[in-house]
Amino acid sequence: MLIDTLFFAEKSPVRKVALLLTIPCAILPILMATATMMAIPFTPMLFKYDVVLFAFVYLLYGFGLFLSWSSHRKAFPILLFILHLIVLSIYSFSNQFEWLGYTSIISIIATSVSNQYFRMGSADCNECSQCENI
């Protein structure tokens, strides 16, 4: 059975939420944030100043990726997230290429899936000494 030892060992509620946001099953908040950020120049989609809320979701998501990276030292999910941010900014501010919107969505999904793989499903994680110490 696969157990996310990093999540269950965490005591801080903020860190737990940040780690939860990076799980593919809980990807809805980051997808909503991505859709809102695509509506630049920050026109409200749900309510006034929803961009501030979703920027906070992005910060928590990035923090969750950092926590996973600090445990497993796999940079691939962070590189995918940086690619997502670059593609999202180009799409939002130029709005010339529609395919960049799809690339942005696919890259954030790939970020969450790869991060979860390194946290739970990889052989590297199952063999690492840090997981055994938790």
pLDDT tens digits, one per residue of 79-109: 999 999 999 989 888 877 889 989 999 999 8
Geometric angle at alpha carbon 67, from 26 and 75, rounded to 5°: 95
Contact 18, 63 (CB under 8 A): yes
129 has a pLDDT exceeding 90: no
Contact 67, 18 (CB under 8 A): yes
pLDDT tens digits, one per residue of 52-87: 888 899 999 999 999 888 888 889 999 999 999 999
φ/ψ (deg, to 5) at 45: -100, -40
If one compares 3 and 19, the residue with the highest pLDDT of the two is: 19
pLDDT tens digits, one per residue of 111-128: 988 888 887 755 544 455
What's the pTM value of the predicted model, to 2 decimals?
0.74
φ/ψ (deg, to 5) at 48: -65, 135
What average pLDDT does the structure give for the chain?
Answer: 80
From the CB of residue 56, how many other CB atoms can be counted at a distance below 10 Å? 11
